[in-house]
Amino acid sequence: MKLALKLAFKNLWGAGTRTVLNVLVLSFSFVIIILLNSIMDGWDQQAQKDSIVWEFGEGHLLHKQYDPLDSFTILDGHGPIPKNQLGITPILVYQATIYPQGRMKGIVLKGIDSNQTILELPIEKVKTSEAKFPVIIGKRLAESAKLNKGDEVQIRWRDKNGTYDANTLTIVDVFDSNVPNIDNGQIWMDIKTLWKMTDLNQEASFFVADKNYKAEALPLWRFKSQEALLKQLKDLINQKKTGQAIIYLLLMAIALLAVFDTQILSIFRRQKEIGTYIALGMTRSRVVRLFTIEGSMYSILALIVGSIYGIPFFMYLAQVGFAVPPADQKMGIAIAEVIFPIYGIKLVLSTILLVVISATIVSYLPARKIAKLNPVLALKGKQQ
Amino acid sequence: MAEKPIISIEKVIKNYPVGGKEFRALKDITLSINKGEFAGIVGPSGSGKTTLLNIIGSLDVPTQGEAHVLDKNIAELSHNEAAKLRNYNIGFIFQVFNLLPVYTVFENVEFALLLQKNTVEQRRKAVYDALEWVGLQDHANKRPDKLSGGESQRVAIARAMVKRPKILLADEPTANLDSENAHGILKTMKMLNKELQTTFLFSTHDEKVMGYLDRTIHLRDGALEKDIIENKTTSV
């Protein structure tokens, strides 16, 4: 093995430009694979963290008739807050219409305890306001409804008896969250205010659980764990990862094709050398191994070269992050303006293995031909 | 009791497929070569010299008949056994030198030893000994492209001799050399033959080489024509 490595290195060194080109292309694939995956991992981690602290907590205890994805369930999907249940923060969901600048816009009112600490939502700001109906909204709704902090907006809703009522909301804060689920088309207020508006006193549509929550069988409520709530997000990110994998696999295929071509060319052009190796007493399998190692050495050199320019680049990116275009932030999934890539050991090792194993396989495939070469013809340099 | 021949060829026939037909390159060759001989297979191009040399070198096998080298039947050797035989017992010198271009002179000579289990120090000593035999100890760090034809062939001799093989097969070793270099090479080989008792077997049609041989085995059209051992001629 040591001999094969030494010979392979010398042969690669001697091959000059061909080696440089192959190594550069392969190192580029190596860096791109790590880059794309680290950004996806960074996004994954950031999106999960943001979703937990802004929306999911340790899980949701949902009213059996309430489905967050079905607005038709809002009307009936609420019930009395269970007594003696620890570790839950109630949220009441209600439909309403606002009239920003005279235009009509359907929204969802969400009432939450203004003293809550489970979510990062800055709902405590409504406590210090002197307005009659102080509310907070997210930047997305603020943008789409053209509302700013301090603005007032007319709201109309129906109470539990179906009677229309109207009033004026005051926007006391516009919060900035990476989680669109708590922002798009939603207005947050103190749950006590919402109870008064709707006459649904001590009722909730769902609860956000914290660490003190202990699951109990409640007839009206069903618990959805944090993991179950994150599943949709994870599935989406995995789907994106698959899409990106196609890009980097294509890139890697081009690099591996270059290695494959070089191997074919080597075996074609170096017949005399192969014949000489055999004449000097090298077994055919050893010559095959030599050429395979030579091919896979491209991947080792690519790792070294890739590390030389990749590590400083990755370190820089880990500090400044990867800016996400504004259009992507409006996709409706949790995504920050800047994603900080995460370079895990698993990612780096799996990428190294992927590149080295793939390069070894594409090097071995043409090298197998050596085992069938006639050494006499090889020594004469005749094509076989 | 006479010593057993180091090479024994018995009614060897070698056919090659050429254009859908069988071409007979060797026709019923029988000969034996003893240890320490400085012999040559001579004849015009296409007479079968290289084919016979390749069979003796275990790079090829006879179609019929038997070729025994160091008591091993060439046809019965596996690829690995043949490789081992070549690695430890047979040295090759080629017409076009076949030096490995990316290695230095030292590394080219060392290569044969790398395939054996020698220590670094043993290898180093053996390589410098071999380079001294051929007078190239000062060229150890040069690459083959910096050497003349004569020097390249000397490196090839050092590479073949460094492992102290029992048999050295040289296929037209002087074909690409000028007269002065050819004589120099032949003198070196003759010296090694005497000093190390290595059996040399050439394939040649070069008159200069024939002048150095103790024995000339003449082939014509794949058949053994005559076998001249010093002053004793055997016609076949």
A253 and A355 in contact (C-beta within 8 Å)?
Answer: no
Buried b (16+ CB within 10 A) or exposed e, B178-200: eeebbbbbbebbeebbeeeebbb
What pLDDT, in 10s, does the model give residues A35-66?
Answer: 988 998 898 889 899 999 999 999 999 999 99
Which residues of chain B make contact with A10, given a CB cutoff of 8 A?
102-103, 107
Provide the H-helix boundaries in chain A. 2-15, 17-51, 139-144, 191-198, 226-269, 271-279, 284-320, 326-329, 345-367, 375-380
Model pLDDT, residue A331: 65
Interface test with chain A among B50, B61, B79, by most A beta carbons within 10 Å: B79
Rounded Cα distance between A59 and A211, Å, is 9
Q: Of B67, B111, B155, B199, nearest to A276 (Cα)?
A: B111
Determine whether the interchain pair B103/A10 forms a contact, defined as Cβ–Cβ distance below 8 Å: yes
Which residues of chain B make contact with A283, given a CB cutoff of 8 A?
79-80, 83
What pLDDT, in 10s, does the model give residues B67-88?
Answer: 999 999 999 999 999 999 999 9
B178 assigned to some structural domain: yes
Mean pLDDT confidence for A300-309: 94
Asked if the C-beta of A375 comes within 8 angstroms of chain B's C-beta atoms, the answer is yes
Burial label for B142, CB within 10 Å (0-12, 13-18, 19+), is middle
Model pLDDT, residue A63: 95
What pLDDT, in 10s, does the model give residues B144-176?
Answer: 999 999 899 999 999 999 999 999 999 999 888
Mean pLDDT confidence for B210-232: 88
Beta bridge partners of B92: B169
Asked if the C-beta of A269 comes within 8 angstroms of chain B's C-beta atoms, the answer is no
When the pLDDT of each residue in chain B is averaged and rounded to a whole number, the result is 91
The domain in which residue B150 lies consists of: 7-235
Of all residues in chain B, what percent carry a pLDDT higher than 70? 97
Residue B234 has pLDDT above 70, yes or no: no
Mean pLDDT confidence for A210-230: 89
Model pLDDT, residue B114: 87
Phi-psi region of B19 (alpha: psi -120 to 50; beta: other; left: phi over 0): left
Residue A1 has pLDDT above 80, yes or no: no
B1 assigned to some structural domain: no
Model pLDDT, residue B235: 54
When the pLDDT of each residue in chain A is averaged and rounded to a whole number, the result is 89
Per-residue pLDDT band for A204 (boundaries 50, 70, 90) equals: very high
Mean pLDDT confidence for B130-137: 92
Domain of B127, CATH number, reads: 3.40.50.300
Residue A238 has pLDDT above 80, yes or no: yes
- Concatenated DSSP letters for A268-289? HHTHHHHHHHHHTT--HHHHHH
Asked if the C-beta of A4 comes within 8 angstroms of chain B's C-beta atoms, the answer is no
Determine whether the interchain pair A279/B112 forms a contact, defined as Cβ–Cβ distance below 8 Å: no
What pLDDT, in 10s, does the model give residues B87-110?
Answer: 999 999 998 889 988 889 999 999
Residue A241 has pLDDT above 90, yes or no: no
Rounded Cα distance between A299 and B3, Å, is 55
Per-residue pLDDT band for A197 (boundaries 50, 70, 90) equals: very high
Of all residues in chain A, what percent carry a pLDDT higher than 70? 98
Nearest-by-CA chain B residue for A16? B102
Model pLDDT, residue B78: 94
| More confident call, A159 vs A199 | A199
What pLDDT, in 10s, does the model give residues A258-287?
Answer: 888 888 888 888 888 999 999 999 999 989
Q: Which residue has the tokens 């996709």?
A: A331
B28 assigned to some structural domain: yes
Mean pLDDT confidence for A185-189: 95
Residue A237 has pLDDT above 90, yes or no: no
Mean pLDDT confidence for A65-91: 90
Which positions 270-309 of A are in contact with B (Cβ < 8 Å)?
272-273, 275-276, 278-286
Asked if the C-beta of A370 comes within 8 angstroms of chain B's C-beta atoms, the answer is no
Overall number of domains in chain B: 1
Model pLDDT, residue A26: 87
Per-residue pLDDT band for B193 (boundaries 50, 70, 90) equals: very high
Shortest Cα–Cα distance, A373 to chain B (Å): 11
Beta bridge partners of B29: B12
B43 Cβ partners below 8 Å, 6+ apart? B49, B205, B218, B219, B220, B225
Model pLDDT, residue A379: 87
Residue B13 has pLDDT above 70, yes or no: yes
Per-residue pLDDT band for A328 (boundaries 50, 70, 90) equals: low
Which of B60, B100, B111 is nearest residue A376 as measured by Cβ atoms? Answer: B60
Determine whether the interchain pair B83/A282 forms a contact, defined as Cβ–Cβ distance below 8 Å: yes
Which residues of chain A make contact with B169, given a CB cutoff of 8 A?
none
Model pLDDT, residue A327: 63
